[in-house]
Structure 1
Amino acid sequence: MAFSVTDPHHSRLRRLEDQAFALFNNDDYALSMSQKTRDAWGRLHAAAMRTKVGGRPHPLAGVALISLSSMDQIDGKNPDALAQSRAGLALLEPFADAYPIAWMQGLSIRGYVEIALGDVAGGANTLAQASRYMDGYIARTPADKLDKDAHMLRSNIAFSHAQALTRLGRNAEAVEAQKASMEARIAAAGPDSADTIGSYYTYAQMLARVDRDAEAERYARLAVDKATDHVDRKHPSYARALEALGLLLSRTGRRAESLDYLQRAIAIKRDTVGTNSLYFQFGLQNLGTVLLPLERYADAEPLFLEAERGFRRIEGENSPQSARALAFAASAGLAEGRRDEGIARLETALARVRAGSDKDRDIGQRVYPYLIPALIAAGRADAARAAASAFAAETRQLDNAPAFPLAQAAMLAAWTGANDIGLTDSALRLAGVLRDGATLNDNGELTEDQRAGLDTVLAVAAQTQDGALALDAMAVLAGSRIAQANRLVAQRLVADPALAARVRGLQDKIKALEAADRLLLRALATDSGVAAARAARASVAADVEAARAALARDYPRWVEARGGDRPDLATLRAGLAKDEALLAVMPAFDGVYLLAVGADGVRVERATMGRAALVALVNRLRGSLTPAGFDATAAQDIYAQIFTPDILGALGKARTLRIVPTGAFASLPFAMLPQRPVAKVDRDTRWLIRRFAIEVQPGFATGGDTRSRIAARDQRFLGIGAPTAFASGQSGQQPGAAQRGGALLAANHYFRNGGADFHALSELPPLPGSLSELEAVAKRFGADRATLLVGAEANEGALRSRDLSPYGVILFATHGLVSGEMEGVTEPALVLSPPATATPGEDGLLTASEVASMRIGADWVILSACNTAAGNDAQAAAYSGLAQAFRYAGAGSLLVSHWPVRDDASAFVTLETVKGANRGLPRAIALQQAMLKLIRSKQDGATQPYIWAPFILMGR
């Protein structure tokens, strides 16, 4: 219809519009939201309704209602806002092109309020309509006629649309919507404004949801860089940009790196907005949730408790957010062994939310998985059963509930007798869901919730003495540690496009399996359509297993780097030699679990001491070790916790023990555990090494080492070490020269921007005995069969250019960087000499991923470097990945150490072990006899475990 907004017949309406807009846009916020402003819009609406255009009310009647709906939305009167926006849009629709901004504002308000009132799908459709109209408006309007307000409106609409799509799980569409929002924000405010910075980090968060992590990190870092350069430190966007980057780094497995950004964000919030804001409390909670997977419970708990108090102070006693923070604090307390306190906190969190609303089921998903096992352990069976019933019922009511909580709820209900589903079947199903979830994670990490779920599976396995179930769950725990240690090794392998495509194909199939699991679990819970759901799930599972088998066949090294195939108990037992047994020692969430597999049976136990206490005991023993003695009480207590009568009964008369430890137990020198209390150390002390020859392996790989042994007469020796010091990146010191510096720091300290940090490396402590050790071993082999690369010759180029196949024994005597978190660009490495000149691909660090790409024919590789066995804290990845990398490169056996080794003792054990193996002894027994011979020797202090106990034989 013919219509003009400038029609002189409607000048009175335009004056009323101007009066209302003047009030609404007033700098005085109270006036702009006052009844006076509402009355002005009301007068315009009434007058416009009386004025007809082609038989319809004048469109300004719709503009007035849309403006009133905006005021209602701001006031939180969402039902009124929805009614006003719908009525206003109906009046305005025939004239939308005449009032495009008002039309789009009306759609934006309606969509936003629909979502707020629970109609997310409807709101998303409304915002999609607004976005399409906006795109057309931008396309047909000359650029010089578009003001920043139009671009800002476009950005806001696209932002709300992206948020709605995310809630609907339509993440790929959400990414595109947020990209449009970001581009419009740049057009409206420029690339450096605080508002635009918010768009950068929001876009990064969207990209992360669709696993486009590299792009996500780029935009998150862009937000931080822009904020640093262009935004006042007090502006909220500065702290939010730091926080967004920190959370992204945490999500991609670089939690230690993320902590710095999150801590800086909290410090800025504390200084700028103070502690009496939700903004600050969420920052505390975010930091705490990053600390939990690092097992830094003592650091996380006070953050959650401070946030809990803050949420309650701001939102009231029944604040849902305070309940969530209290539940997080409870999980930290449970992990530290404080069960009664944890139960009380979890029950308080539930009661607090129930008092505020009976519709908030989300808090139950946080509380029940921790509360129910704790109630079972406390002997409160009735309370556990009631909680399990509530958990199952609430989980069924969640829209699109993932397979993990559905499986967890079903297993806990079975465990407490709240349903009739078989306990073992439901536990196996939960273990399978957790295994598949770990496969989808490129970093190999398990969340705290996943570890708690595995803890419950292992508790059931111990209760039912189901060795196969225990093995299933333990393989997930061990595989996670292996995948973390080998993260960059796996990345290097996946650089092969063919392998990358196969891996993504497998992950897509696993996502389909998760969906099938979810449908089956829902069918079981409702006893409806079970047969069809089970058949559909079986079909998808067969597809997944076929893909897994094909990948293992075609790319075995990648599968091994990711933790290996799923082990089978029968195959594992068949792979043990006649006189061999296996013992797995696994900390999960609040418990430590033991699996013994021997000729006389299988035994599953939970240690009587909790995880936190037993880990503290291991750390106490490690901290007490000196050349003069050790904490004998701690050592004997650990032995008693692990080698119980039933565990020893399952191990039977085995002479060799294969141990699979994770977490803190990867740094435990099992050989020195005394079988009985020790009053005085002497040559006859009953160490565990007298009972068993010990081989340690990071996972449950089956099958023996089929490599043929090199004959003794053909053995040749290569020694690498005693490198020159890093000093401004230049070599020049003599072999073995002392380097300045103090204690060896965490490995992250020695990396910067993807390469070696020469300044940090220059501060490494000296290794004065490394040259003597290399020369002593070389002397045993003889000058004609020994080669040394020492000093400046101990560099990456010299090693890579040398044919390593003739050497039967290779010894590295240098620093090993394995302590601490292996993440980001940081990976386990051996320190070699710095390059004399800048050389591509050489930085003086021989990393695990570089080792894995080498071809080594050595029967033995000895890593006589500080702590090459494992990191020295609970979070460090088992057996460092460095030792594993040598196995991938072709090494037959690895001899590694738990702490810096005295050079004469290292030379003695190395030579005696190699000689024994060449006489035909099994390698573990060769090491056992070498250690016992050292104890009996007349070397100074040789009876002390500090001298002989650090050595371990590492298998697959």
Structure 2
Amino acid sequence: MTSGNRLALMTGLALITNACLGTSSFAQKSDTAALSARISELGRAGKYSEAIPLAQRQVADLEKSSGPVNRDLAGALNNLALLYGNQGQDGDAESLYKRALSILEKTDGLDRVGIAPELNNLAALYERQGRYVEAEPLFKRALAIREKALGQAHPDVGQSLNNLATLYERQGRHADAEPLFKQALAIYQKAAGPDHPAVATLLNNLGQVYKVEGRAGDAEPLIKRSLAIREKALGPDHPDVARSLNNLAELDERVGRPAEAEPLYQRALAIRQRALGPDHPDVATSQNNLASFYQGQKRTIEALPLVQQTIASGRAQLRVALPVLFDAYAWQLVSVEKASDDALNAIQRGTQSSAASAVNKLAVRLAAGTDRLAELVRRDQDLAAEAEALDKAIVSAVSQGAAKRDAAAEQRSRTRLATIATERAGLQKTLAAEFPDFAALSNPLPMTVKEAQSLLSPDEALVLFAVIDSESYVLAMTRDGFAWRRLPLGAEAMSQKVAAFRRGLDLNKIGKGDPSGRAGLFDLTLANELYAALLGPVEALVKDKRGLLVVPSGALTALPFYLLVTEKPPAAIPETFDGYREAAWLLKRQSVSVLPSVASLKALRAFSRKDQGIKPMIGFGDPLFNPAPGGTGDQRAATTPDTKSATRSATSAAYTDFWQGAGVDRAMLAQALPQLPDTADELKAVARDLGVAASDIHLGADASETTVKHAPLADYSIIYFATHGLVAGDVKGLAEPSLALSMPEHPSELDDGLLTSSEVAQLKLNADWVVLSACNTIAGDKPGAEALSGLARSFFYAGARALLVSHWAVSSEAATRLATSTFDRLKADPKMGRTEAVRQAMLGYLNDKSSPRNAYPALWGPFALIGEGAAR
């Protein structure tokens, strides 16, 4: 609910007034200075719509009179970017800040104090967007430059301290933020006097720290003093006044003074609407805040129109919108259809994952229809991805001091970015000219409930989860039914429950035949409790459908739903492993597939192409990790005789341990990765089922990055990898989730033995599905991060419409058995669909009584089907 702790020091401080005016004539200097002063005046007054045309004119005039590289132009670009940012036009602001920064690095040098404002402003923009990892080094570099050049007590140092503290506060790092705010406040009170607007900003920000820490008595006088200063210095209708009003209102609400809070929230909203216009992000913030206040007072009828306005603007906060819409739905304040469509709209906009984004990009290409259009779209998407990577690299470099910079490399990146921009501009013109309907195709509106229902078969149910702070929601639908329920578990509780659930899926726990008394085994009671909490409320609608499509969010992306237990078990841990066989697994009742988003149902189903690859499958497995010079694949097994029980993971070694400098430490990686000779049997067995030519199965040294990258992958319906999967660790700029392939004797950029997610994204597929018979390929990039990312995201982008992935480190023997069984069943009945085939393979393993261990879910249950799992 906080109304922006970010830097508000632009009042009288942030706009650059072009003190150094290059080679312009005296008259030009005077005109430029006068125009800058006017722009600054309008900016301080919050009259951004009047200031922007003047700033645009100033940029154009300076480009014409002084050329593309001069300090005047950098200042003008900065001014215009600030105004764009205050209007919520972040994309325009970001590009201008970067351009200004590039100019100043050329004119002032890399570590001169003149570049600090641009570093700060670009970082503040990233902070506002939640891009904290990118913002922090920029803030820190600006602070270091200013401290060295200006001394510890300079106001600009205070500004940088405030910026860094604000970043920490947004991340909940209150202990880090408080001393920096205090230091900055002391600097400004001494330099500018106690009644300067910059002092008001620091008072407000320090008050925010105290407020969220529950120190209302310390916070209140600071926020009130901030408000008084701003009203006196800036006038009662300035946007900064609204910020203090909002924060004071939240404080009153927290301490139980709703009568005092309400008019403050209302006044803050009115100020922002007048000063900034109805579409500004700060207006949406005030609308969300006031709606949340009304909802807390059980005044849903007053909160509802505010929430509907934020949904219309695309800036609804789920923590506010869903409780309001749910009560409006339950109390029939609006039609069921309107409330449910609004909720689905808000969820689709508010929970967009990277995997869902990749599916959407794929959908645009699939929906393009013609080969020419699909080719143009893919080229544009690839260029955009390359530009994003280059841009991040440049910003990362800019965060460093001169000693760590590589000017030549940065210039190559900038040159390439310029080339990309030119090519993309040409592509956009071609698309507009040849395919005038493409714009509507590439920016689809969120789906309605009826649209989603129309994509379901009569025997399918879709269940969508939205996990927010203190509670969650489940929306379930069939072709002709809909249900919406509130769940009592919030984000933190959900995360703890899922973590506890997954602790029982460690293969190392099942070394003995008797589970009794052994802590850490899979907890059937917890699996039943999670079923009751998550699916129990909508059970009546979904339980009789054969197929269950799940759209998870938050921690639920790491939950294998098919391992939920639908009936209360006799005991949490059975006395013997056979007891797990008798559990009421959800898998016994229904097949389960996972969708990255509701929209991906349409992307993968409605737009699914019919021109599948002419060849059934290409496979890569049994790679050679420790090649002996001149040796053959047959020599590998002798070095690792116990490979039948190998796990397809890097065991206990961290991914970071396999890097040495900027490359892979191949010797260490080879030692950590056991050979997987049974994957050759797996691939050959599947190949026999599908009638795959022997030349399409690549084993041993041929299972390499070189082979993958040179193969015509778009010609195949199935792309199959049977190898180790590596989950990314936190290696600066290097670590990515990867598939381990054969290690080359001479590593190169083309082939270093690891097929990373970024390399996967560059592949060109037209695959009905991709099988990743590897370890933990559903996992997020870091513990607690968004799952369905990394490899899954990249394969969707590359052109896969379904993925078979694993939830944890899978036994190699079990992976082989499950995969071959899945394809055996598809061969016997091609119409059953991928999800049902996976389900039957897992049930077959579970019901195999030849070993008690077969009943344990860690063995039979690792694989999940992501994407389109229905029969084609």
TM superposition shift of 1:671 = 2.8
Matches within 5 A, 1:89-238: 135-137=24-26, 163=40, 168=48, 170=51, 174=55, 177=58, 211=92, 216-217=97-98, 220=101
Cα offset for 1:694?
1.2
In structure 2, the CA distance between the partners of 1:182 and 1:599, relative to structure 1 (3 Å rule), is closer
Secondary structure of the 1:577 match is coil
Matched, 1:697 2:579: no
Deviation of 1:647 after TM superposition, in Å, equals 3.0
Read off the aligned partner of 2:551 and give its amino acid letter: V
Identity among equivalent pairs (%): 24
C-alpha change, 1:251 and 1:392, in structure 2 (3 Å) is: closer
1:614 aligns with one of 470, 474, 494: 494
Asked whether the equivalents of residues 620 and 703 of structure 2 are also in contact (C-alpha less than 8 Å), the reply is no
Taking the aligned partners of 2:378 and 2:673, their CA distance within structure 1 comes to 47
TM-score by length of 2: 0.66
Are the aligned partners of 1:204 and 1:220 in contact in 2 as well (CA < 8 Å)? no
Which residue pairs with 2:412 in the alignment? Answer: none
The corresponding residue for 1:664 is 555
**2:834 aligned partner:** 923
Matches within 5 A, 1:606-685: 606-619=486-499, 621-622=501-502, 625-627=505-507, 628=509, 629-630=520-521, 632=523, 635-636=526-527, 639=530, 642-643=533-534, 645-675=536-566, 676=568, 679-681=572-574, 682-685=580-583
For residue 686 of structure 1, give the secondary structure of its aligned residue in structure 2.
coil
8 Å Cα contact 2:714-2:767 kept in structure 1: yes
Q: C-alpha offsets along residues 66-116 of structure 1, whole Å, 9 cap, x if unaligned?
A: xxxxxxxxxxxxxxxxxxxxxxxxxxxxxxxxxxxxxxxxxxxxxxxxx97
Looking at structure 1, the residues matched to 22 and 110 of structure 2 have their Cα atoms a distance apart, in angstroms, of 36
**Residue number in structure 2 paired with 1:810:** 719
AA of the residue aligned to 1:325: N
Name the count of aligned residue pairs.
Answer: 732
What secondary structure sits across from 1:476 in the alignment?
Answer: helix
**Which residue of 1 is the match for residue 401 of structure 2?**
none
Q: 1:422 to 1:481 in 2, by over 3 A?
A: farther
Hey, what's the Cα distance between the residues in 2 that align with 1:482 and 1:760? 30
Could you say if the C-alpha distance between residues 694 and 352 of structure 1 is closer, same or farther in structure 2, counting changes exceeding 3 Å?
farther
Q: Distance in 2 between matches of 1:897 and 1:558?
A: 31
CA distance in 2, matches of 1:204, 1:871: 35
Q: Distance in 2 between matches of 1:395 and 1:346?
A: 23
State yes or no: 1:951 paired with 2:863. yes
Higher RCO, Cα 8 Å, sep 6+: 2
- Equivalent positions of 1:850-929 (< 5 A) are 851=760, 854-871=763-780, 873=782, 876-880=785-789, 882-887=791-796, 889-918=798-827, 919=829, 920-929=831-840
Residue 348 (structure 1) shift: 6.7
The residue matched to 2:346 in structure 1 has which SS? Answer: helix
8 A Cα contact 1:156 1:181, kept in partner: no
Counterpart check, 1:570 vs 2:450: yes
Paired residue type of 1:933: G
Cα gap change, 1:776/1:573 in structure 2, threshold over 3 Å: closer, same or farther? same
Counterparts of 1:155 and 1:354, CA distance in 2: 34
1:812 deviation in Å?
1.7
Q: Does 1:686 align with 2:587?
A: no
Distance 1:342 1:281 in 2: 24
Q: Aligned runs of 1:765-776 on 2, under 5 Å?
A: 768-769=673-674, 771-776=676-681
Q: What's 1:432 paired with?
A: 312
**Is 1:471 aligned to 2:344, yes or no?**
yes
Q: Which moved more, 1:847-856 or 1:798-807?
A: 847-856
Matched, 1:794 2:687: no
Report the counterpart of residue 777 of structure 1 in structure 2: 682
3-state SS of paired residue (2:816) = helix
Distance 1:160 1:880 in 2: 48
RMSD (CA atoms): 6.0
1:693 offset after TM fit, Å?
1.9
**Which one of 102, 114, 133 corresponds to residue 256 of structure 1?**
133
1:286 aligns with: 163
1:391 pairs, out of 249, 253, 268, with: 268
The code of the aligned residue for 1:768 comes to L
Superposed CA deviations along residues 763-782 of structure 1, whole A, max 9, x for unmatched, are: 65866356335213124236
Distance change (3 Å), C-alpha of 1:606 and 1:178: farther
Q: CA deviation at 1:697?
A: 0.7
Structure 2 SS opposite 1:913: helix
TM-aligned CA distance change 1:951 to 1:389, over 3 Å: same
What is residue 418 of structure 2 aligned with on the other side?
none
Offset at 1:343?
Answer: 8.4
1:872 CA drift (Å) = 5.3
Write the letter of the residue equivalent to 1:686.
A
Structure 1 residues 264 and 135, CA, compared in 2 at 3 Å: closer, same or farther? closer
Q: Distance in 2 between matches of 1:637 and 1:370?
A: 43
Query: Does 2:822 align with 1:936?
Result: no
Note if contact 2:230-2:241 (Cα within 8 Å) is conserved in structure 1: no
Distance 1:322 1:292, change over 3 A: closer
- Distance change >3 Å, CA 650–CA 584, structure 1 → 2: same
| Deviation of the 1:642 alpha carbon | 4.1
Paired residues of 1:734 and 1:791 also in contact (CA < 8 A): no
Query: Tell me, which stretches of 5 or more residues in structure 2 are unaligned?
Result: 1-9, 330-338, 366-372, 385-430, 510-519, 575-579, 641-648
* Equivalence for 2:391: none
Partner of 1:595: 475
1: CA distance, partners of 2:525 / 2:34? 63
**Kept after mapping to 2: 8 A contact 1:489/1:848:** no
Whether the 8 Å CA contact 2:250–2:261 is kept in 1: the answer is: yes
Deviation string, structure 1 residues 407-463 (Cα, Å, up to 9, x no partner): 55456656729999875554333112126xxxxxxxxxxxxxx6xx23211121222
Letter of the structure 1 residue corresponding to residue 340 of structure 2: G
Amino acid at match of 1:905: A
What secondary structure sits across from 1:901 in the alignment?
coil
Distance 1:911 1:705 in 2: 26
Structure 1 residue 895: Cα displacement = 0.3
Distance 1:365 1:917 in 2: 63
**1:695 Cα deviation from its structure 2 partner:** 0.7
Out of 619, 631, 647, the position equivalent to 1:718 is 619
Distance in structure 2 (CA, Å) of the matches to 1:811 and 1:935: 24
TM-score by structure 1 length?
0.61
Distance 1:626-1:283 versus aligned 2 partners, 3 A rule: farther
- The equivalent of 1:454 in structure 2 is 318
Mean alpha-carbon deviation: is it higher for 888-897 or for 819-828? Answer: 819-828
Of the structure 1 ranges 414-423 and 789-798, higher mean CA displacement relative to structure 2 is found in 414-423
Separation of aligned partners in 2, 1:284 and 1:952: 48
Rounded Cα–Cα distance in structure 2 between residues aligned with 1:825 and 1:489: 26
Consecutive unaligned residues in structure 1, runs of 5 or more: 1-114, 140-150, 334-340, 436-449, 505-546
Code of the aligned partner of 2:572:
A
**Alpha-carbon distance change, 652 to 281 in structure 1, aligned in 2, over 3 angstroms:** farther
Counterpart contact for 1:936–1:943, Cα < 8 Å: yes
What SS is found at the alignment partner of 1:596?
A: strand
Point out the more displaced range, 926-935 or 697-706.
Answer: 697-706
* CA distance 1:613–1:490, shift in 2 (3 Å): same
Shift of 1:798: 2.0
Partner Cα separation in structure 2 for residue 583 and residue 892 of structure 1: 20
Taking the aligned partners of 1:640 and 1:371, their CA distance within structure 2 comes to 42
- Using the TM superposition, give the Cα deviation of residue 670 of structure 1 relative to its aligned residue in structure 2, in angstroms: 2.5
| Whole-angstrom CA distance in 1 between matches of 2:127 and 2:12 | 32
Shift of residue 644, structure 1, vs aligned partner: 5.8
Q: 1:648 to 1:464 in 2, by over 3 A?
A: farther
Shift of 1:690: 3.4
Asked if structure 2 preserves the Cα contact closer than 8 Å seen for 1:724 and 1:732, the reply is: no
Q: Distance in 2 between matches of 1:824 and 1:490?
A: 29
Residues 214 and 761 of structure 1, relative CA distance in 2, 3 Å threshold: farther
Change in Cα spacing, 1:312 to 1:246, as seen in structure 2 (3 Å) is closer
Matched AA of 1:395:
R
CA distance in 2, matches of 1:948, 1:555: 46
Structure showing greater radius of gyration is: 1
Per the TM alignment, residue 954 of structure 1 is displaced from its structure 2 partner at its CA by 0.5
1: CA distance between counterparts of 2:311 and 2:627? 48
